[in-house]
Amino acid sequence: MKEEYIKYALETFKGRALELVLNQIELYYDNESIITKNRYFKGDSVLLKKGTFIHGIRGRLDNFDWTLKNGFVSTNFTGVKNNNKYFNNIGMWNIQEDILLKDYVYLYSGVTLGYTIGRGYGSILKTKLIPYHEFESTIEKISDDESIWMWNAEQTKEIRFLPSLASNKIQIAFILNMESEYAKKLKKADIFNKDMDYDVLKYFIADRILDNFINDERNSFTTDRESAIMFGLPPKLIEGVILGRLLENDNDAINYINSKLPDCYICNIDGLVLLGNKK
C-alpha cells in the first residue's frame, strides 16, 4: 500500500504540500517508535488528556477490522473519492484540556448555542456549548437578558461522529494517544494548524470554503476542537476503544475487540473501563 500512497501523492500534490504528505507517509510506516499508553483496570474512570485524539467509525463491528488493517487513512488515498469540504486528510476530535471521558461525553452530547449581543451593525456573535439535557434551563436564563437580541442552536457535530448520550448512530470510537514525540511529529500535519498557508490548504479544503477557513475565527460552530491530519495516522496510536449503548453489554463484541487490541482498554460512554489493559 505504501507504494500506492506515494504514487497518489506524487500525482496529486506539489510544493510544500507534497513534502508534508510524503513525510507523513514515511512516519506512518515507522515501526521503530514505541508508543507508551495510558493504562487502566476494569472499573476505572478514563481521563482524556489534553491533545488526545478521538475518531469514531460507522456501523458496529462492520468497519472495525478495516480500520485496524488500514489505519486512519483518508479515503482519497484508498481510492474512494469524496465531495466533502475536507479531503486528503482524516478528521479527529482534539481534546482541548484534561477532562474525564464521562464529562466529555456529557458536554458534547448537547447543543451548540449561538447568540448575538446587541442588534444590527456592531452586534457580537457568541457561541457556547450546552451539555446534554441542559438546553431548556440555559434558554430560560438567557431569555431575560436584554443584551441578547437573538439566538439559534444546533446539534453538536460530535453527536454525528462519536458515541453519545443523544444518539446510537455511532457505536465505536478509538482513543489515540498523542503524547509521544513520534505522535507529536505526526500531529504537525494538521490542516487546522495556523501556520498552514493557502498553497498548502488548497489540496485539503474545498474551494467553496477555503477563504473562510483561512480567515474565520474558530468557534464552537466551526469548530474549535477539530483536527484533520494529512494522509492519516497509524493504528498503533490506539490506546482505548469507546463503545456506545448498543455494544457496551455485548460480550461477544467486547471479546472480539480485545482479541484484536489486547494492549488497549475498552470503555463505555459513562467513561468506565469495561475491560482494562493494566496488568
Query: What is the torsion angle, in degrees rounded to the nearest 10, for the CA atoms of residue 53, residue 129, residue 117 and residue 210?
Result: 30
pLDDT of res. 11: 96
- Residues in contact with 100: Cβ distance below 8 Å, sequence separation at least 6, in sequence order: 45, 46, 47, 48, 271
Distances (CA, A) of 274 to 13, 171, 266, 269: 43, 15, 6, 11
pLDDT of res. 51: 97
pLDDT of the chain along its 279 residues, tens only?
A: 899 999 999 999 999 999 999 999 999 999 899 888 999 999 999 999 999 999 999 988 888 999 999 999 999 998 877 778 999 999 999 999 999 999 999 999 999 998 888 877 777 888 889 999 998 888 888 777 767 778 889 999 999 999 999 999 999 999 999 999 999 999 999 999 988 999 999 999 999 989 888 888 888 888 899 999 999 999 999 999 999 999 999 999 999 999 999 999 999 999 999 999 997
Cα–Cα dist 138/11, whole Å = 51
pLDDT of res. 251: 97
Domain ranges of the chain: 2-106+158-275, 110-155
Cα–Cα dist 167/7, whole Å = 39
